[in-house]
Structure 1
Amino acid sequence: MATDEAETVDVSRGRYAGLTADERRTQRRERLREVALEVIAEEGVAGLKVRALCARAGLNDRYFYETYSHTDRLLYELVDEQLAEVVAAVMGVIATAPADTRVRLRAVIEAGVTVIADHPARRRLAIDMQTTDELRRRRTELVDLVARVMLDQGRELLGDAAVTGVHAELAARTVAHGGLEILIEWLRDELDIDRAQLIDFLVAMILTAAEITTTVQREMAAG
């Protein structure tokens, strides 16, 4: 078990090594979060164990429990923050990309793949998103968000020509689910393709899905 850090005490000011108790607590919390991301990148979410995290962080086990009641609390906090960063990166590209459907679509997909694949902890979190019920719930929320963004972008870029209604929603969810699964297989090195090929395929898949949805809606209306 790791021992407590050496601390210089200034009793008159209630400070330790130049920091207040709250500052020290914040410092320990950030160290645990930093170490947790390292462990996730190396071992996956299954590697998050209190004793191992504290030993790696150079902290006594009791410091973990001053902030988190369980490693799951730490995990889900990190997952939410990493997902928020991925969404922010993608929305930033949407806000600045040209109003050309294919150009914007490729820019968005490239940004999404890059922000996940090039961050070791996010890469492993994406792979492990079905290992617990709570992670599966967050994965479903991500699919919901991706589908909504696709529908919103379709309306923005295509205007009245955009397909709407239940068929558009079903197509968006199908593409969101399928695209995420393909990305995860690629992250696991189960697909013998490079990044450019992956992005090309995802762009083509979404554009083709839009064409198919238009055809389905027209045929069902005619029937």
Structure 2
Amino acid sequence: MTAEDRLVQRREALIAAGLELFGTQGYPNVSVKRICDLAGLTQRYFYESFPDRAALLGAVYTRCVDTAREATVTAAAAVFTEAGITGGAIPAELIPRLTTDALGAMIHCLSDDPRRARVMMIEVVGVCPDLEKLRLTAIHEWAALIVGLAVGDSEPTSHQRLASIGLVGALTQLLVDWQTAMSSPIGPDVGPELFDVEAIHAVVTDMFIATYDRVF
């Protein structure tokens, strides 16, 4: 391998170690040494790729978001292909199927690997201004994906954009509660029985469909 190849390999090893440790132990409980030990690298190589732990958390978060987004877009594309749609706004009759499949892909991408959900929904929150900006940017990118699927090549209205941001916020909060309910529920009536993944999928699907009918 070239020196550049080795640098990429070490960076990937650190991201994998960060996902495992941040996603199971929590960001505040993980030191650079623990990350390096799991990655099989010295701390010198950590600082070759990242200036600090927060930067690694940002890279892990971005990887998780990209993975979830890819799953969502792939599911949406499969619906479009099956329906023979190549562009433009989505026919209203296709919205329930598209919403069910796309949201299901996104939610199950996280539930199949709860480390991703913990990093995306809990560990990245409030760490530092740079990560808050990264997180809020990702929320707006999810909203742009939603509104883009709904209106096609048309320019969305401010009302439609705000509605899309609100939908992302609702889904995010339910997934935060799902994560919390699995580890430390805040009360006896808000445990895993309430925040079941399939129940969340059903509720947000209904919310997205109703918003489309009303707003788009």
TM-score of the superposition, structure 2-length normalised? 0.76
Aligned to 1:153: 149
Aligned to 2:88: none
Distance 2:20 2:102 in 1: 27
Are 2:67 and 1:72 equivalent residues in the alignment?
Answer: no
Against the structure 1 CA distance between its residues 64 and 198, is the aligned structure 2 distance closer, same or farther, given a 3 Å change threshold? same
Q: CA deviation at 1:164?
A: 4.9
Are 2:120 and 1:128 equivalent residues in the alignment?
Answer: no
Distance 2:198 2:23 in 1: 23
Against the structure 1 CA distance between its residues 137 and 155, is the aligned structure 2 distance closer, same or farther, given a 3 Å change threshold? same
Aligned to 1:13: none
Distance 1:193 1:25 in 2: 41
Q: Is the 8 A contact 1:171 1:210 kept in 2?
A: no
Q: Comparing 29-38 with 106-115, which one deviates more in the overlay?
A: 29-38
Q: CA deviation at 1:68?
A: 2.4
Structure with more relative contact order (C-alpha pairs < 8 Å, separation 6 or more): 2
Q: Which one of 114, 139, 142 corresponds to residue 138 of structure 2?
A: 142
SS in 2 for 1:101: helix
Aligned to 2:87: none
Distance 2:162 2:5 in 1: 49
Distance 2:15 2:73 in 1: 25
Against the structure 1 CA distance between its residues 187 and 66, is the aligned structure 2 distance closer, same or farther, given a 3 Å change threshold? same
1:60-115, CA deviations, whole angstroms, 9 ceiling, x for partnerless residues?
Answer: 33232233222222222222222112111111111111551101100011001011
Are 2:113 and 1:119 equivalent residues in the alignment?
Answer: yes
| Aligned counterparts, 1:156-171, within 5 A | 156=152, 164-171=156-163
Q: CA deviation at 1:47?
A: 3.1
Aligned to 2:212: 210
The one-letter code of the counterpart of 1:128 is E
SS in 2 for 1:130: coil
Please say which structure displays the higher CA radius of gyration: 1
Distance 2:134 2:112 in 1: 21
Paired-residue identity, %: 22
| Aligned counterparts, 1:20-59, within 5 A | 25-59=7-41
Distance 1:107 1:25 in 2: 38
Are 2:78 and 1:84 equivalent residues in the alignment?
Answer: no
Cα RMSD between the aligned structures? 2.7
Distance 1:88 1:75 in 2: 20
Q: Which one of 191, 200, 214 corresponds to residue 202 of structure 2?
A: 200
Structure 1: unaligned runs, 5 residues or longer? 1-18, 215-223
